[in-house]
Every structure is written in structure tokens, then in C-alpha cells.
Structure 1
Amino acid sequence: MSDPVTASSDPAPDANCPPAAAPSSAGPTAPAAPTDPADAAPWRTVEALVGWLDRESALPKEQERLLRVLKLSEEVGEAAQAVIGATGQNPRKGRSHTWDDVHAELCDVIVTAMVALRTLTPEARQVFEGHLRRVAERVPGSEAP
């Protein structure tokens, strides 16, 4: 399992890193519905991760943005590898992973996507919550907040 947000093996960031501003290329977003303050905790962590990655990067901003989106492909591949290993579908390797490994890889995908989204727009939380509401509204019988 690799670091979910970087291609390097740098140590994990300090959770108290100040957030860094990122350029926004997104259009207008729907206003966010009132949420529980505890819901903001993951986004504070994402802010810290983005700030840390921004400080550590020597790449031009546009290249960094693209690579953070491309990092998702790597993480999804690792999740697929873990599923194959958990089900023993590679006869040469057998059961090389557990379902806990799959859970961890899926979490890496989620964190990497959150970091990529926050890299693209400072309104990442609102963009995500609005999108999630729209998805929920399409599900029969669901009540979107």
C-alpha cells in the first residue's frame, strides 16, 4: 500500500499544517446545506494534506494539479490488486491480501480524490456535498439533506 496522496515516500504530514490556498477552476457551486461541525474534520485534514503537498512540491502548479488527479488511477489499481489478492484470483500469488487491505485501499482512493478535488477548488467540501445531494436525489426513496 502506498501513500494515498503522493508518489513519493515522504513521511505523513503534521495534522496541524496550515491550509494552503489553491487556484480555483470550478464554476459556481450550490450553497451548502447546514451540516454537523464534526463533518468538517475530514476536510480540515484534507486542507492540511494539500498544504503539505503544496509546500513540498517543486513542480509548476498546473502540473501538480494534473498529477494529483492522475494519482487516483494508481490508487484505484491498488484497490483492484487488493480485491484480486483477497479473492485469490491470481493462482501464482494465491490469497495475498485481506478484506482489511481492500478497505484500506478504498480509503486511500477516497482521500486521494478529496485531495485532488481540494487542489482544484477551495470550495471542495461544498462541491462534494452538493454533488452528493444531487446523486441522492436520483435514488428512489432517498431523502437528500
Structure 2
Amino acid sequence: MSAPDPDMTSVWEAVERSTTWLDAHHEPDDAEITMRLLKVTEEAGEVAQAWIGATGRNPRKGVTHGRDDVAAELADVVFSALVAIRSLGLDPGAVLNEKARALVARTRGG
């Protein structure tokens, strides 16, 4: 595993740049936010397609993807979700940290 960016600067820069780019092309009203929320679902579908391709479960197509493809699609889901959170006017880092704290607390054994 490669060393992570400790403060995730490149992640937050990508989220901000993506959100700004989208805002420049479409007014960030409720209809546009709906599209950004639906993008998460679209990307999740691409994860499923890549996994089906990685496992060769479609006999007509066989093996068409690898685990790296699946991981890349999962990363697209993550970025789409972070952009959607930012588009709601929230800080995606703060939302993510709060959720991480809740998950850690819930999984502390017992």
C-alpha cells in the first residue's frame, strides 16, 4: 500500500475543484444537487459492472475487468459523494470525520 497523503490535501483540492467546475457550468440549485446525488448511484452501478467483469459472471463477456478497475470505480463513488456533500453547502471533511468517529465508537468491541 502506498503512503497516504496525511492531510488528504489532494483529495480536498479535487473535491473543491470539481465542485467549482460543476458550479460554473450549472447553477447549484436543487435540480443540480439532485443530479449530483444521482451521480453517486450511477458510479455505484459502474462498481457493480466492474465487479461482474472482474469475476467473469457474465458468460457472454467473460473476464473484462480487474480488481484495480473495481477499486477505481469505488474511488469514483467516494469522490461523487464528497462533491455531493460539498454541493449541499457542507464541509465533506467534517462530515466524513464525524461519520468515522461514529463508526469507530460503534465497532469498539463488545
Give the TM-score, by structure 2 length.
0.86
Query: Mind listing any 5+ residue stretches in structure 1 that lack a counterpart?
Result: 1-35
Q: CA RMSD in A?
A: 1.8
In structure 2, what is the equivalent of residue 118 of structure 1? Answer: 86
Structure 1: distance between partners of 2:90 and 2:6: 18
**1:70 corresponding residue in structure 2:** 38
> Out of 61, 66, 70, which is 1:102 matched to?
70
The number of aligned residues is 105
| Distance (Å, rounded) in 2 between the aligned partners of 1:62 and 1:75 | 20
Would you say 1:86 and 2:54 are equivalent positions?
Answer: yes
User: Of the candidates 9, 14, 28, which is equivalent to residue 45 of structure 1?
Assistant: 14
Structure number with greater CO (CA < 8 Å, separation at least 6) is 1
List structure 1 runs of 4+ shifted beyond 2 angstroms. Answer: 36-41, 121-124
> By percentage of residues, which structure has more helix?
2
Deviations 1:16-61 (A, max 9, x none): xxxxxxxxxxxxxxxxxxxx9723431122011100110012x561
Alpha-carbon separation, structure 2, partners of 1:48 and 1:109: 17
Instruction: Percent identity, please.
Output: 46
Q: Is the 8 A contact 2:28 2:87 kept in 1?
A: no
